[in-house]
Amino acid sequence: MPQFTYRARNAQGALVEGVLDCADRAVAIRQIESQHCIPIRIDMVEPVKPVQTKGTAPPAAQRKLRLLSSPEVATPSQSLKIPHGQLLIFTEQLAHLLQAGMTLDEGLSILKKRLKQPRVQQMTHTLHQALIDGRSFSQALSDMPRIFPPLYVNLVAAGEASGALPQILLRLVKHLMQAKELRDRVQQALIYPAFLALAGAILVTIFITFMVPQLTGFMAQTGGALPLPTRILLQFHHAITGYWWVGVLILIGGIIGFRAVVRTQEGRIGWDRLRLLIPGYGRVIRHRYYAQFARTLGTLMENGVPLLRSLDLVTEIAGNRFLEAKLTEVRRSVIDGATLSAALQQQKLFPDLFTDMMAVGEQTGHFAETMQAIADVYERELDRSVGVISQLIPPIIIVIIAALVGLVVFSILSAVFEMTHSLQVRPH
């Protein structure tokens, strides 16, 4: 019966090696998985051929000895980064390959050939080489923090420990897709209002910088007196054309001052807190974080990550210093014995509906499922908020643009009417 040498990871993450007598590789994989281990590499043992030349090993054996004695260690690139879509493709295809019965070593080898993007190939080669060198998959992922966030690495580590890595990867794909769809919905809702605002600013600038000088030259030739709205418009034109550099300096100074403030811990916390209180915009940010917090925490708990470690991870991905500070206080309260829902309610960080639903999940023992349901609720609320805001902003921008253009046109027409009146009453 053929023999197979294997290398795998057990539930504690330790490297396990051995030899199995099996009919084929599929049987070997099933035997390794039955021991709650994740197969990394499986090779068939070839019969040993007699050495033909005295004192010299065959070329194939020499190559194998060189491979075992001095493996080429690929240094992972800390600055390597790939697009979010490529990460989704890599994760999903690797999960399908593992579900089909392949080992991590074989799956990464296939992806290295199948994925043509150069940076993805470099990433896959680095991961594959790390497995050959005896490192765990999660350890190899942690060497590329710009590609794999802590959430990704910790879920993979949980999958390695539980022996359910393919299922964990598929859940990661679902989580990454939901996060991407959430981000895309918010961005797409703001594209049209931003375009309207830009178009209106360009239109008003054209009126002031091109039409007003022509009006000034025309009125200077006729010698007519300008009405008050036209004089105000001309002063505004002179301020823009003559002192534009003052505005640029003020803008640059404001940006530098703002960055200096937000670089401090207190300034950053204050600014992030203010962002949450801005009407409309703050509501979108809050609902987006409620959904993200619930979805991420539910996914982590569902895959066996401890509560305190899960809180650390959702704190890291908050992207808001004020929320991070509040969640740090929540973690301290949980360590002191409080339930998570009570700690959140004490900090007044989440709405009552959120904490009440979380408390029900804690009492019933279905915490992970409850958090996923909470995420669904606030994703629907986010869609509703984004829809309302995206419908209100365009009319508001149009009204502002129409008012500005109307004032400019009124100022110009006032001068024209005044000039026409003066010409009519002037004696021949």
- Check whether residue 205 and residue 129 sit in a common domain: no
Q: Name the least confident of 50-59, 251-260, 292-301, 408-417.
A: 50-59
What region, left, alpha or beta, does residue 163 occupy, with left being phi > 0 and alpha being psi -120 to 50 degrees? left
Residue 422 lies in a domain: no
Q: Is the pLDDT of residue 321 over 80?
A: yes
- Check whether residue 293 and residue 191 sit in a common domain: yes
Instruction: Work out the average pLDDT over 227-255.
Output: 82
- Check whether residue 242 and residue 183 sit in a common domain: yes
Using only the alpha carbons of the chain, give its radius of gyration: 33
Residue 344 lies in a domain: yes
Rounded to an integer, what distance in angstroms lies between the CA atom of residue 310 and that of residue 249? 46
- Structural domains counted in the chain: 3
Rounded to an integer, what distance in angstroms lies between the CA atom of residue 132 and that of residue 69? 12
424 pLDDT band (50/70/90 cuts)? Answer: low
- Check whether residue 115 and residue 193 sit in a common domain: no
| Residue 17 bridge partners (DSSP) | 7
CA 100 to chain centre: 30
Q: What percent of the chain has pLDDT over 70?
A: 84
Q: What is the CATH number of the domain that holds 370?
A: 1.20.81.30
45-103, pLDDT tens digit by residue? 765 554 444 444 444 444 333 333 334 444 445 677 888 888 888 888 888 888 888 88
Residue 122 lies in a domain: yes
Half-sphere exposure of 153 (CA within 13 A, CB side): 17
220 pLDDT band (50/70/90 cuts)? Answer: low
Residue 105 lies in a domain: yes
Residue with tokens 């199995």: 20
Q: Domain span at residue 194?
A: 179-378
Pairing, β 38-44 against β 3-9? antiparallel
- Check whether residue 266 and residue 118 sit in a common domain: no
Question: Of the candidates 335, 351, 378, which is a domain's last residue?
Answer: 378
* pLDDT, mean over the chain: 78
Q: Is the pLDDT of residue 425 over 60?
A: no
- Check whether residue 208 and residue 293 sit in a common domain: yes
First to last CA, the chain: 122
Instruction: Work out the average pLDDT over 363-387.
Output: 86
HEC secondary structure over the chain? CCEEEEEEECCCCCEEEEEEECCCHHHHHHHHHHCCCEEEEEEECCCCCCCCCCCCCCHHHHHHHHHHHCCCCCCCCCCCCCCHHHHHHHHHHHHHHHHCCCCHHHHHHHHHHHCCCHHHHHHHHHHHHHHHCCCCHHHHHHCCCCCCCHHHHHHHHHHHHHCCHHHHHHHHHHHHHHHHHHHHHHHHHHHHHHHHHHHHHHHHHHHHHHHHHHHHHHHHHHCCCCCHHHHHHHHHHHHHHHCHHHHHHHHHHHHHHHHHHHHCHHHHHHHHHHHHHCCCHHHHHHHHHHHHHHHHHHHHHHCCCCHHHHHHHHHHCCCCHHHHHHHHHHHHHHHCCCCHHHHHHHHCCCCHHHHHHHHHHHHHCCHHHHHHHHHHHHHHHHHHHHHHHHHHHHHHHHHHHHHHHHHHHHHHHHHHHHHHHHHHHCCC
- Check whether residue 202 and residue 271 sit in a common domain: yes
- Check whether residue 118 and residue 212 sit in a common domain: no
Instruction: Work out the average pLDDT over 142-167.
Output: 78
**pLDDT at residue 216 in the model:** 64
